[in-house]
Chain A
Amino acid sequence: DSGVTQTPKHLITATGQRVTLRCSPRSGDLSVYWYQQSLDQGLQFLIQYYNGEERAKGNILERFSAQQFPDLHSELNLSSLELGDSALYFCASKGSGYEQFFGPGTRLTVL
């Protein structure tokens, strides 16, 4: 158990809908990272937050957004969903070291 929690574990929705994925980092970790894992793209970095502020952006679509709240949990919002957004979405947290600790992921299926 990494100490990072993600909810929900599974999410099934329809095209055009909007969903919110939630992540709670390890206790004391200020950095939260979001990654997408898909069969065709592999594991890709989406976005990073540090202590409530956006720190870095990767291959994140404009339809996707994220935020980190004062209690340090983070949410990834995916809107106008397309079939191709079906993937496993991971959250990771990092403390003062360089290693990232991953949550169990949220499997999103868009029908």
Chain B
Amino acid sequence: AQSVTQPDIHITVSEGASLELRCNYSYGATPYLFWYVQSPGQGLQLLLKYFSGDTLVQGIKGFEAEFKRSQSSFNLRKPSVHWSDAAEYFCAVGPNNAGNMLTFGGGTRLMVKP
């Protein structure tokens, strides 16, 4: 069965600093990988996705993620964090079948210091 691990429960960065959120997955085949962001009281917004091809994918709000098969990782990065990026971030993996339900990691709560 697939699983997703986000090792960091909380991360605090200063505004303007770079950010990297870690995600490791366990999956038997080539996974479909996603990053979602959840602002307080809001639903989940899709930041970016990886299905195949170029292992560096660009998303919305200046985020990018890199798929590394050898490390079973799909880390999310942003070169310069804004205060509005404070939120909870979820990595998810989806199976390559008709069901395509998502398995989520536990989430990483990002706090941004002024």
Binding site for B on A (CB under 8 A): 2, 4, 31, 33, 35, 42-45, 48, 50, 55-56, 58, 90, 92, 94, 98-105
Tell me, in angstroms, the Cα distance from A1 to B73 when the chains sit together. 29
Q: Contact between B44 and A90 (Cβ–Cβ < 8 Å)?
A: yes
A-B contacts at CB below 8 angstroms, number: 53
Q: Contact between A94 and B44 (Cβ–Cβ < 8 Å)?
A: no
Tell me, in angstroms, the Cα distance from A36 to B32 when the chains sit together. 21
Tell me, in angstroms, the Cα distance from A86 to B65 when the chains sit together. 33
**Pick the contact of A42 from B42, B45, B99, B104 — CB < 8 Å?**
B104
A98 shortest CB reach to chain B, Å: 5
Tell me, in angstroms, the Cα distance from A102 to B101 when the chains sit together. 13
Binding site for A on B (CB under 8 A): 32, 34, 36, 42-46, 49, 51, 90, 94, 98-107
Known contacts A42-B107, A43-B90, A100 near B102 by CB under 8 Å: yes
**Pick the contact of B101 from A4, A33, A99, A105 — CB < 8 Å?**
A33
Tell me, in angstroms, the Cα distance from A3 to B97 when the chains sit together. 24
Tell me, in angstroms, the Cα distance from A45 to B4 when the chains sit together. 14
Q: Contact between B100 and A43 (Cβ–Cβ < 8 Å)?
A: no
Chain A residue, CB-CB nearest to B107 = A42
Q: Contact between A45 and B102 (Cβ–Cβ < 8 Å)?
A: yes
**Pick the contact of A2 from B43, B49, B102 — CB < 8 Å?**
B43
Q: Contact between A56 and B101 (Cβ–Cβ < 8 Å)?
A: yes
Q: Contact between B43 and A103 (Cβ–Cβ < 8 Å)?
A: yes
Which residues of A are found within 8 Å of B99, using beta-carbon distances? 48, 55-56
Chain A residue, CB-CB nearest to B44 = A102
Tell me, in angstroms, the Cα distance from A88 to B25 when the chains sit together. 24
Q: A43-B107, A48-B99, A102-B36 are in contact. List 16 more A-B contacts (CB 8 A).
A: A2-B43, A33-B101, A35-B102, A50-B98, A56-B99, A58-B101, A90-B44, A94-B100, A98-B32, A99-B34, A99-B46, A99-B49, A102-B44, A102-B46, A104-B43, A105-B43
